[in-house]
Amino acid sequence: MIKTARIIIGCFVAVFSSFYLYNALVLLFEYQSINQGILALVCALCVGQLFFLIFANLFAKEKKFSESTRKFWEMTYKKTFLTELSICIACFGGTLYFSRYLPVNLLLIFLVPFLLLVLINIFNFLKRKRNKHQADFSVVVNGLEMSKFENSRKNSIQLFQTYVQNRYKSHFFIFANINIILLVAFLIIIVWQNLFWLSYLILIWEVASIISFMKSRIKEVLRIKEKLLNGDYAEVILFIKEIYSLPYDRTITSQIFEEHLVFALYHVGEYEQCIQIFEKTVFKKIISSYATPYRILSLLELNRYEDAKNAYMQFTLLNKNGRKKNRKYVLNKFDAYFASYFAGKYEVAGKIAITFKSKKPAQKQMIQKLQNLATTRKKEHNKKESDNSVD
């Protein structure tokens, strides 16, 4: 399907670039119009380079990176950058051809947006190459002990490659559609005065496409969350480590991964490492409010009752930062559970635990852990009271 689409687009581009080239040669040699001929030739070259890139990618052999996630990321973003840059230059050439007879001031108005997109694309590419690792959190993540999760390495690499590929694919289509919208908008003004209805249909289609690809970007992040809720903790932990081992790249990073890592470490019993993240990282308030319950639970699992109580006091303040209604509901559940637990109402805490969502394996495990904590603490409390009564 993708190969067929590339061939069709390549043929479409070839027709336009050939048309521009033919006109350039006619203007240069038949009419001897040097200025207009050179402009038409520049347009032909701008559009033609996209044709060669499409067919170069069509017949190029895909490199396989079974282990090196960094090389795979570098190959993906470089390929996306070149294609985005090529499309932008081609749209620049198309606009230049149709507006070449306009006054210079109008010509510049039509061409400046494409030049800005080219410069922004180049700037982002160069910036990505210069970026250092992702601040404190990446240092902490890369310092975690991951040897016990090595059995999930193969699956985590596949997850990483699919995620990076799909995120960049969505990014590319959004960028390409923005260029097409600009091109169509300028063509409406320049040559399509009598075809407004068709032009507007194209614009509506392009805007709908951009919205669709934005949704697909979000879906990729939700897919990682789904893996986590299904109990693939080790796979997600290694995936997040790979993401944070790379230089900062807004296309593939997401703040929600910080919460996911804490959630996963807690569920695999890595309580010390879960707490270590909070000791060495400063989360944004909204992420901290969602992640802190797992810090409290980890402290309770390690019988650090006073530290857990102090962390809960911080959590009550952070709970005010919950924005989304469904997330706020969960935070309130945790608040009610901890309030009952630290008040010594362990039976109430156990009942609150049952009210958490239990559709996914991770949610069921969470309920079990909460109930176990309440039950264990109740037994310890009863034993302590019985020992005191004997004395």
53-90 pLDDT, tens digit per residue, is 888 887 776 666 566 788 899 899 888 999 989 999 99
Torsion angle (degrees, nearest 10) of CA 72, 76, 78, 80: 180
99 token code pair: 């507006």
* pLDDT, position 115: 84
Distance CA 264, CA 236 (A): 8
pLDDT mean across residues, the chain: 84
Residue 130 has pLDDT above 50, yes or no: no
Distance CA 92, CA 49 (A): 12
Domain regions of the chain by residue span: 1-61, 68-247, 283-390
pTM of the model: 0.86
> At 385, is the secondary structure helix, strand, or coil?
helix
Instruction: Report, as an integer, the average pLDDT of 320-347.
Output: 82
What share of the chain has pLDDT > 90, as a percent? 35
Closest by Cα among 51, 46, 67 to 6: 51
Instruction: Report, as an integer, the average pLDDT of 154-158.
Output: 91
Best mean pLDDT range from 145-154, 284-293, 305-314, 316-325: 305-314
